[in-house]
A and B are shown apart, each in its own frame.
Chain A
Amino acid sequence: MARTLAMFTDTSLCIGCRACQVACKQWNELGLEVPEWTGTYQNHAHFTDKTFRLVRFIEEPKPTGDLAWLLMSDVCKHCADAGCLNACPTGAIYRTQYGTVNINQDVCNGCRYCVSACPFGVVSFNESTGTAKKCTFCNDRIHNGLGPACAKACPTESIQFGFRDDLVPKAQKRVETLKAMGFKDAQLYGADSAGFLGGLNAFFLLLSKPSTYGLPDNPKLPQKNIFVDSLLSIGSALLVGLGALVAFRRRGPGGES
């Protein structure tokens, strides 16, 4: 496997211009969508089958009573332990040599299990193709030596593309700098490979706690439940099976056994 590629989204540098969102749409030929009212400048409210990069506009009350405007360009996290990939029954979802997670559109049969299994609500179902869609990490571009369209278009370097082992120390330094500047809640999300989901190959620098951005504080790999849930099912099966045997063995209503 080649060195793992990553995207580091530093939300402290995001100006909400949505160049990433537009670049993603154009490069990936994602179709038109009807805009929706979300109460902020954000459009759309969630990832869709045609929106793989989504700039979130969040207003957070400050202690002074003012509002802080938090901007975050959100994307598929390309998790090291990916719930969607584990869930896929057809093998359509696969990991590339660079560690990114992709959906083979020629294999996906549209069962939608991955849609429910993504801890971040990234994977979306496309009614017209009948398949699941999400960010491809610009698979065509990275295999031709180019960065993802979103990172390329970002005018403030809020989205940085590179090798994961180069980007993580850089991100850690940036957190220290921000903390020294007074951003006491500055933190990395998903940078730690020993942390949740084995680390995210698209990781973030946040200026507030993850839930402020609509991110789960401690996302769990759904498949971790399988072992315990299966054991409990086996327990239930044994009880039911024994119950049926007892019901047919016990002395009959007429006294016969």
Chain B
Amino acid sequence: MAMLQSAHWPVLIDVYFFLGGLAGGAFVIATAALLVDAVRYRDVVRVGYYLAFVALVPCPVILIVDLGVPLRFLNMVLNFNPLSPMSMGAWALLGFSTAAFLAAVMTLLEDLGKVRDLSGPKLIVGVIGGAMGFFLAAYPGVLLGATARPLWINAHVLGALFLAVGASSGAAAMALVLAVLRGRDRDGVARLGTTIVLALLIQLLAVIGFVWSVQASGSSQALKALALITSGPYSTLFWGGAIVVGSVVPLLLGLLGLKRPSVGLTAVVSVLVLVGGFLVKTLIMAAGQV
């Protein structure tokens, strides 16, 4: 057995991966709604941009606190290393935070009635920021794949999976906020419900791809780590929490909602999706580091 070491990143980093993905997903979905119809989906766009900004606020704090020498956090942005997903991620966080801040400020200016319509500038920031937001959602998966940890180096879909989780959780968080605060935007909630269903489908496909690629690698160490999730100590949380309660049940309820949209149902779906998405990322992080 090769003797590898682990970074032992704490759960706090899982929280960052989750929030960063959620922010990226919410921002992209808000931009999609803005692209289609700025007036009709005004509330969806507002909630998406505010949420992306709020979810990003704790992110740099988490990353800095986790460092061995927190005061040297700036060294990340004094260097540019395209071969290091962590370096690229630091730049993406900086760029996307700027975009999310601008989008939130423009939305606030509209809400305060200072400016009538900033759809044009918001669209420019939304499209450029959206690309960076998707990058922020996906890069942690690519980062894990570019380590020597057997579970991660043999799974090629972690970036794709993390991005899908970011989209599903971003849409879910938006739907939940709209459902709680603005129950009147039934149409927006219904369309976010559809987005959740589509993102969940991709997420489930990516989970299957993850298990399949690790099994296909034949690496005994990778299989041992995978077994922690599929049949070992994390299996109840994985099958019961991440897959059944967090993905399959909300997918079925979401499909039901496509026929008969209901704000209450979408809110329930959203809570389940948020829990499931967090569990997927956390369990892959935990099993990969044992």
Q: Which residues of A contact B (CB under 8 A)?
A: 45-47, 83, 86-92, 107-113, 115-127, 129-132, 211, 214-216, 219-220, 222-223, 225-226, 228-230, 232-233, 235-237, 239-241, 243-250, 252-254
Q: Which of A130, A243, A249 has the largest number of chain B CB atoms within 10 A? A: A243
* Contact in complex: A109, B68 (CB < 8 Å): yes
Listed A/B pairs (26) with beta-carbon separation below 8 Å:
A83-B148, A90-B76, A90-B87, A107-B75, A112-B68, A115-B6, A116-B289, A119-B148, A121-B148, A222-B153, A223-B83, A226-B145, A228-B156, A229-B145, A235-B160, A241-B32, A241-B134, A243-B202, A244-B32, A244-B33, A248-B32, A248-B36, A248-B44, A250-B194, A252-B191, A253-B187
A232 contact set on B, CB distance < 8 A = 156-157, 159-160
Known: A90-B72, A249-B36. 6 other contacts (CB 8 A): A47-B3, A89-B76, A112-B7, A121-B2, A232-B156, A240-B163
Within 8 Å by CB of A87, from B35, B72, B146, B202, lies B146
| B 146-176 to A, binary, CB cutoff 8 A, 1 in contact else 0 | 1111000100111111111001000100000
| B 67-86 to A, binary, CB cutoff 8 A, 1 in contact else 0 | 11110110110110101111
Q: CA A86 – CA B85 in complex, angstroms?
A: 9
Q: CA A130 – CA B70 in complex, angstroms?
A: 9
B41 contact set on A, CB distance < 8 A = 248
Whether A243 touches B195, Cβ cut-off 8 Å, given contacts A86-B84, A89-B84, is yes
Whether A211 touches B2, Cβ cut-off 8 Å, given contacts A229-B156, A244-B195, is yes
Rounded to whole Å, the gap between the CB of B215 and the closest CB of chain A is: 17
Whether A108 touches B78, Cβ cut-off 8 Å, given contacts A89-B90, A220-B153, A236-B206, is no
* Contact in complex: B138, A233 (CB < 8 Å): yes
Rounded to whole Å, the gap between the CB of A94 and the closest CB of chain B is: 11
Beta-carbon nearest neighbor of B164 in chain A:
A236
A89 contact set on B, CB distance < 8 A = 75-76, 79, 81, 84, 86-87, 90
Q: CA A121 – CA B75 in complex, angstroms?
A: 24
Q: CA A133 – CA B70 in complex, angstroms?
A: 17
Q: CA A92 – CA B35 in complex, angstroms?
A: 43
Q: CA A46 – CA B5 in complex, angstroms?
A: 9
Whether A109 touches B145, Cβ cut-off 8 Å, given contacts A90-B79, A237-B138, A241-B134, is no
Q: Which residues of B contact A (CB under 8 A)?
A: 1-9, 25, 28-29, 32-33, 35-37, 41, 44, 66-70, 72-73, 75-76, 78-79, 81, 83-87, 90, 130, 134, 138, 141-143, 145-149, 153, 156-164, 167, 171, 186-187, 190-192, 194-195, 198-199, 202, 206, 261, 289
Q: CA A211 – CA B159 in complex, angstroms?
A: 30
Whether A247 touches B195, Cβ cut-off 8 Å, given contacts A91-B81, A131-B69, A230-B142, is yes
Within 8 Å by CB of A241, from B28, B70, B261, lies B28
B8 contact set on A, CB distance < 8 A = 112, 125
* Contact in complex: A240, B202 (CB < 8 Å): yes
Rounded to whole Å, the gap between the CB of A107 and the closest CB of chain B is: 6
Q: Which 5 A-B pairs have the closest CB atoms?
A: A110-B68, A130-B68, A233-B159, A243-B198, A236-B160
B164 contact set on A, CB distance < 8 A = 236, 240
Beta-carbon nearest neighbor of B147 in chain A:
A116
* Contact in complex: B147, A229 (CB < 8 Å): no
B5 contact set on A, CB distance < 8 A = 46-47, 115-116, 118, 121-124
B147 contact set on A, CB distance < 8 A = 87, 113, 116-117, 222
Q: CA A92 – CA B28 in complex, angstroms?
A: 34
A45 contact set on B, CB distance < 8 A = 3
Q: Which of B130, B161, B194 has the largest number of chain A CB atoms within 10 A? A: B194
Q: CA A168 – CA B3 in complex, angstroms?
A: 26
* Contact in complex: B84, A248 (CB < 8 Å): no
* Contact in complex: A247, B194 (CB < 8 Å): yes
Rounded to whole Å, the gap between the CB of B48 and the closest CB of chain A is: 10
B33 contact set on A, CB distance < 8 A = 244, 248
Within 8 Å by CB of B198, from A115, A223, A246, lies A246
Within 8 Å by CB of B134, from A127, A219, A237, A248, lies A237
Within 8 Å by CB of A229, from B1, B142, B198, lies B142
